[in-house]
Chains A and B, each alone.
Chain A
Amino acid sequence: MRRDHAPGFAPILVGFILWAVGFLALYAGHATGCELGWHMAPALGTNLLRLVLIGGAVGLLAALLATGWWMRRHPVQGFVIRLGYYALIAATLSAVVNFFAVFWLPLC
């Protein structure tokens, strides 16, 4: 009996799963920070909430870029991998557009 190769879809999904996790973390982190008053706690020339959100956004971008780098280092050819690249690029650009506002918009 052959075991299924379940991770076969991973390259297609990984980019947007990272985006989705980042989205939820930043949205939930923002709501929590506002409620708990992190935006009023000074930290490194700004406030704690903005620092957390910038850290989250940069971390998400780094994770997406690292995934792209890892995929390029393992250049397995094929439909799924090519599709994965497209989806990863789309997820990375989406993350930039989605979250760049954490640098400048009023927080709470």
Chain B
Amino acid sequence: MSDHTPEREADTPLPPEDARTRSVYAAGAPEMAARHRALEAIWGTPPGIPQFSVVNHNIIGRRFIVTSLAFFVIGGLLAMLIRVQLASPDAAFMEPGLYAQVFTMHGTIMMFLFAIPLFEGIAIYFLPKLLGSRDLAFPRLSAFGYWCYLFGGLMLLGALAAGVAPDGGWFMYTPLSSLPWSPGINADVWLLGVTFVEISAVSAAVELLVTVLRVRAPGMSLDRMPIFAWYMLIVGGMMLIGFPPLILGSILLEVERAFDLPFFDPLRGGDPLLWQHLFWLFGHPEVYIIFLPAAGAISTILPVFAGRPLVGYRLIVAAIVAMAFLSFGLWVHHMYATGLPHLSLAFFSAASALVAVPTAVQIFAWLATLAHGRPRLSIPMLHIFGFFVVFVAGGLTGVMLAMVPFDLQAHDTHFVVAHLHYVLVGGFLFPMMAAGYYWLPHFCGRMPEGGLSRIAFWLIFGGFNGTFFMMHLTGLLGMPRRVAHYPDDAGWSMLNLLSSLGSFVMAIGIALVIADFILTMRFGKRTRPDPWQAGTLEWAVGRLPAPSYNFAALPAISVRADQIAPQNLGRALALGQGYLAKARNHWQETAGSDMITGAFEHIIILPRQSYAPFFSALAVGSFFLAMLFKVYWAIPLSVLAIVATFLAWPPTTAAERDRGLMPARQGLDLPLHPEVARPPTWWGMVFTLAADLTLFVSLLFGALFLWLAAPNWPPPGNAMPQMIWLALAAAGLVVAAIGGRVAVRQVPRIVAGLLICAAGYALALGATCMLMAGVPAPTAHAANAARFVVLAYGGFHAGVGLVFVAIGFVRRWQGVVSARRAGDLRIGQLWHDYTAVTGIVALGFVALFAVLAGGGAG
């Protein structure tokens, strides 16, 4: 993988304090090389076709980054088309329909296909290294997420090439995106393509959470975690809660468009505002989901160039916790103009202003770090300077827009466009360029030189402000967003021309950055493993580019993990002085730790290369394509393919028999993860269910919102569900949960337990089908549609529960289940318990909703 041989490393100049380590290193070179070869044989992936089976986080992370940058270039080219169109009044460059596709795709690509995947890629690549681990908790899930992202993105790009791209704005407001007003497949492309991509985001959220909490180096307690890990932990939690409302909204709108269930049709008890609520429940936290990883990069990079540790580590963690929660209390500030009561607006206006406080805490902590240190104005710092200027300006206009009276004046004008670009470019693009320059040596082992990169920075900085500062002015002069033409006498012409010129300057700067990166990777000067004299673990990998296994041995952490000496530690680890230093049994081993103390609790054996994630993503893609092209007969086949490919994910290695304690290093024996009560997969299911619960609660919220706020209620011809079916469905779910517990707690009776579980689900599914059949005409009114969908939610979970039962049987048949190795059953139990609780709530809700909708009299 690397041609950066140990001999060459030994030749690089070292600081005087490393002289002793250097001699040890030179003496141990043959042993180190042998260890490298042994580990590379286990963790590496051969070239060619096996690249489709890659699960290693180094490669998956790089793929995410490169793919997202490709989408960034495409999104940027679309932005330039927009600026060409707006450079002069009444331009004939694009007709309004095409212009709508271009600005919709620009926003969609930048938000969903560039920003989120880029930080996911950075997190996937760097988190294990920063945490002193060899990989993420669920490598196959990362690979699956990548393929979903790629296929979903290609689906959107394919539509753009075919001239049927989404054209309703990146937030797809109804009724514009409803079938009568968007009869083509454009809106379907957005709803299905983005949902496909969001599978990747939710799987990344689960991955990040479990990795940060459970897959850290021994001794890395919470207060020793690198600050970037704190950011990603909180971002993972936000993604878990933030994305399900959007996924639900997309499902409901697609169901309305495809099957005429009228959730957003006011003539039949629906409400277009429901879409806005669901979208912005995701959409506003999304801004912080994008900003926080960038802030995490700043908190990592800035102390290195300030030459002192980050000031206010604990306060910053508290601030990002506050930010995470407050960001969920702002969604209505995108809806000030929808006629909500003053008091409601006050709640959201106050929260919108409040969120500036934890942001400011971070800004001041960074300034204090700079003030107490001796800053070096290197290339990454130049971009951080750009961040400070641009993001603070964007934050201040954000506080202006948080005030209801001002927002009502500036609503839907270019002022809002300017604000969001100052926040997103300032809060994400500049920090990411800083991160790009900072971490570039990690990817290629070569240093950026500086000349070209400084010119590029000033072009981007100047071009950006030239472009978007003008939009504040055109916005204040009343120029609305999303219009292809404007009149010559409006007084906006010169400002728009300047704005367009600025955008081309910025584009030249971006092109120079890309050229600079390519030139550095090709011709840059080779560097040693810690080029910036940083204090974090990613520079302790021993060689650059990092080997596929990251660390030849895992470190013991006894100080905060941004204050280590990577060179010394890296060499010690390369010499095998740490945990899990010996390659054995072709296992991919890493440490499983306590989430609070970081104590080494068990040895995690990670799955090796597998084609299953690729084929699972293809199967999921076939489902979305069948929906898009309305080939509904193929949907059951797609579902079967999805189930079959997921069942083909090979069982975790080393679970064929109980192995007891295994040596982790001299004098320390620990169990393997399949033999502990709560392995990473258990936590993965807990977080997956948390996302699922958010979707469920959003669904109930949506139904109650319609009951409360939508016109044309109550529905005509409502009817109460039959109590017998409600009772049988609830009983079936309880029986299934009991069966699941019997299977786990009395493994000798696993077959009996699984049979009980299956019988329970069969009963619940049958009764649910009867209830669904009893819902009067779901297409006639949103009340009926809501009841139908809530029941379908319960039925879907019962169906998946049956799949878990099948997995239990397969595991039993394979002989990989014992009292110690009951992980699959425990995961199944979580699902069964969740299905029972939410299913019973759903059944109760359906009955209650029928009463609320007026069915009590029926």
Smallest CB separation, B24 vs chain A (Å): 34
| A97 engages B350 (CB within 8 Å) | yes
Residue positions of A touching B, CB distance < 8 A: 1-5, 8-9, 12-13, 16-17, 19-20, 23, 26-28, 30-32, 34-35, 53, 79-80, 82-83, 86-87, 90-91, 94, 97-99, 101-102, 105-108
Determine the chain A residues whose CB is within 8 A of the CB of B347 once the complex forms: 23, 26-27, 30, 98-99, 101
Contact of B342 among A3, A97, A98, A105 (CB under 8 A): A105
Q: How far is the CA of A87 from the CA of B704 in the complex (A)?
A: 32
Smallest CB separation, B220 vs chain A (Å): 13
Q: How far is the CA of A36 from the CA of B314 in the complex (A)?
A: 46
Q: How far is the CA of A26 from the CA of B348 in the complex (A)?
A: 12
- Residue B329 is within 8 A (CB to CB) of chain A in the complex: yes
Smallest CB separation, B710 vs chain A (Å): 11
Smallest CB separation, B523 vs chain A (Å): 46
| CB-based closest 5 A-B pairs | A86-B318, A79-B223, A16-B325, A101-B346, A8-B596
| A30 engages B344 (CB within 8 Å) | yes
Given contacts A26-B347, A106-B343, contact A20 B596 (CB under 8 A): no
Determine the chain B residues whose CB is within 8 A of the CB of A5 once the complex forms: 594-596
- Residue B412 is within 8 A (CB to CB) of chain A in the complex: no
Smallest CB separation, B478 vs chain A (Å): 29
Near A by CB (< 8 A), chain B positions 249-295 give none
Q: How far is the CA of A91 from the CA of B357 in the complex (A)?
A: 12
Interface range on chain B (Cβ under 8 Å from partner): 35 or more
Contact of B678 among A3, A28, A106, A107 (CB under 8 A): A3
| B350 engages A101 (CB within 8 Å) | yes
Determine the chain A residues whose CB is within 8 A of the CB of B596 once the complex forms: 5, 8-9, 80
- Residue B98 is within 8 A (CB to CB) of chain A in the complex: no
Q: Please name 10 further chain A to chain B contacts, defined as beta carbons within 8 Å, in addition to the given A8-B595, A35-B708, A82-B314, sorted by A numbering.
A: A1-B675, A17-B325, A20-B325, A23-B329, A23-B351, A86-B318, A90-B358, A101-B346, A106-B342, A106-B343
Q: How far is the CA of A19 from the CA of B328 in the complex (A)?
A: 11
| A4 engages B595 (CB within 8 Å) | yes
Smallest CB separation, A59 vs chain B (Å): 16
Determine the chain A residues whose CB is within 8 A of the CB of B222 once the complex forms: 79-80
Report 24 cross-chain contacts, Cβ distance below 8 Å, ordered by A residue. A2-B601, A4-B594, A19-B325, A23-B329, A23-B351, A27-B344, A27-B347, A30-B343, A31-B709, A32-B708, A79-B221, A79-B223, A83-B314, A83-B317, A86-B318, A87-B318, A87-B321, A87-B322, A91-B322, A98-B350, A98-B351, A99-B347, A101-B346, A105-B342
Smallest CB separation, A18 vs chain B (Å): 10
| B329 engages A20 (CB within 8 Å) | yes
Determine the chain A residues whose CB is within 8 A of the CB of B319 once the complex forms: 90
Smallest CB separation, A30 vs chain B (Å): 6
- Residue B497 is within 8 A (CB to CB) of chain A in the complex: no
- Residue B677 is within 8 A (CB to CB) of chain A in the complex: yes
Near A by CB (< 8 A), chain B positions 286-339 give 314-315, 317-319, 321-322, 324-326, 328-329
Determine the chain B residues whose CB is within 8 A of the CB of A30 once the complex forms: 341, 343-344, 347
| B329 engages A1 (CB within 8 Å) | no
Determine the chain A residues whose CB is within 8 A of the CB of B675 once the complex forms: 1
